[in-house]
Amino acid sequence: MSTGSDATSTGSAAHDGAAGPLAIAAVQCDIVWEDRSANLERLAVKVEAASDSGARLVLLPEMFATGFSMATDVVAEGPSARTATFLRGQAAARGIWIGGSFACRLADTDRPVNRFLLAGPGGEEISYDKVHPFSYGGEDEHYSAGRSVVTAEIDGVRITPFICYDLRFADWFWNAATATDCYVVVASWPAARQPHWRALLAARAIENQAYVVGVNRVGSGGGVAYAGGSVVVEPFGEVAAEAGSAEELLFASIDPGRVADVRGRYPFLADR
């Protein structure tokens, strides 16, 4: 069993829940295959709509600028190149937090990483590199694996991001549980295994007594079909919001008080 977590913030299983709810928006969208310009142009409109509707945190799917491509010579870019600049610019211009993953080429690795970048309105920045490249699809042959989990705090809500295939590895979620109010899973999860997506997101929420926000794409790319199904699951397993199979903005509130209440009434984490 793989283990490890280097969370940037810590806390007890029963977080005090002093913060109020955090308004989030999951952008479920199609992605034009390997066309960064087209995708960023389309997403700017969607991010504006999400922000205008009151979202404080806006979440985009895995590799939102290019699609889940193994052609790293085409899609990979530096940590300060166009996709990262887009996220930073949207955060600053709209006064929001925004995150999604992209193929990021680093100076100290021979292969790029699949990086989730979370940008804040005041220039804050947190990055997480996908720990589990999708070997079934050859991702491990083209991308380097990340090594640790990170947790960011947004308006008092503790957010731990993961990327797609990570969802299958429950121990990594467990290790971050006491420092997490909400897990975010951005994905390019294929339609062929859509029931797994829904079941695993619910399982991660119930077993860790935390919110889980799954953000998936729709459409097709690289010969793979995607069925969306973005969802927000609450700490006791209830579905707070769920998208269909078309492009959609999915809205929900993440309440750390709800996490504290569930963990206080049912202190299951202490028995691990």
Percentage of the chain modeled with pLDDT above 90:
91
Query: In this structure, are residues 170 and 198 in contact, taking their beta carbons and an 8 Å threshold?
Result: no
Q: Among residues 82, 77, 153, 170, which one has the least CA distance to residue 115? A: 77
Report, in angstroms and rounded to the nearest whole number, the Rg of the chain calculated over CA atoms.
17
pLDDT tens profile 39-62: 999 999 999 999 999 999 999 999
Q: Which domain holds residue 251?
A: 22-267
The DSSP secondary structure of 145-160, one letter per residue, reads -------EEETTEEEE
Is 197 a domain residue? yes
Q: Residues with catalytic annotation?
A: 62, 130, 164
Answer whether residue 10 shows pLDDT above 50.
no
* Residue 65 lies inside a defined structural domain of this protein: yes
For residues 173 and 184, is the Cβ–Cβ distance under 8 A? no
For 250, the 3-state DSSP assignment is: strand
Q: What is the pLDDT of residue 108?
A: 81
Decide if 56 contacts 90 (C-beta within 8 A): no
User: Is 182 inside any structural domain?
Assistant: yes
- 17 domain residue, yes or no: no
DSSP 78-105: -TTSHHHHHHHHHHHHHT-EEEEEEEE-
**Per the domain annotation, does 167 fall within a domain?**
yes
- Predicted local distance difference test score (pLDDT) of residue 198: 98
Q: Are strands 22-28 and 182-186 parallel, antiparallel or unpaired?
A: unpaired
In a domain, 73, yes or no: yes
Would residue 150 count as lying in a domain? yes
Examine residue 16 and state whether it is found in any structural domain, yes or no. Answer: no
- pLDDT score at 54: 98
- pLDDT at site 3: 37
Position 14 pLDDT exceeds 90: no
- Percent of the chain, pLDDT > 70? 93
User: Can you give the pTM of this predicted structure?
Assistant: 0.93
Q: Tens digits of per-residue pLDDT, 56-102?
A: 999 999 999 999 999 999 999 999 999 999 999 999 999 999 999 99
In the chain, what is the straight-line distance between the N-terminal and C-terminal CA atoms, in Å? 15
What is 16-80 written as a DSSP string? ---S--EEEEEEE-B--TT-HHHHHHHHHHHHHHHHHTT-SEEE--TTTTT-S-S-HHHH-B-TT
Whole-number Å distance between alpha carbons of 158 and 225:
33
User: Is residue 20's pLDDT more than 90?
Assistant: no
Residue 45 vs residues 40, 48, 49, 164: alpha-carbon distances, Å: 9, 5, 6, 25
Q: Which of 213, 214, 211, 218 is nearest to 248 (CA)?
A: 218
pLDDT at 191: 98
Over range 177-204, report the average pLDDT.
Answer: 98
Spatial separation of the C-alpha atoms in residues 49 and 148, rounded to whole Å: 33
Q: What is the CATH number of the domain that holds 97?
A: 3.60.110.10
Count the Cβ atoms, other than its own, within 10 Å of residue 248: 18
Check pLDDT > 90 for residue 19: no
* Of 8 and 264, more confident: 264
Report residue 13's pLDDT band, with 50, 70 and 90 as the boundaries. very low
| pLDDT computed for residue 109 by the predictor | 81
For 22: left if phi > 0, alpha if psi spans -120 to 50, otherwise beta; the answer is beta
Tell me if 147 sits within 8 A of 129, measured CB to CB. yes
Number of domains in the chain: 1
Other beta carbons less than 10 A from residue 270's beta carbon: 9
Q: What mean pLDDT value characterizes the chain?
A: 94
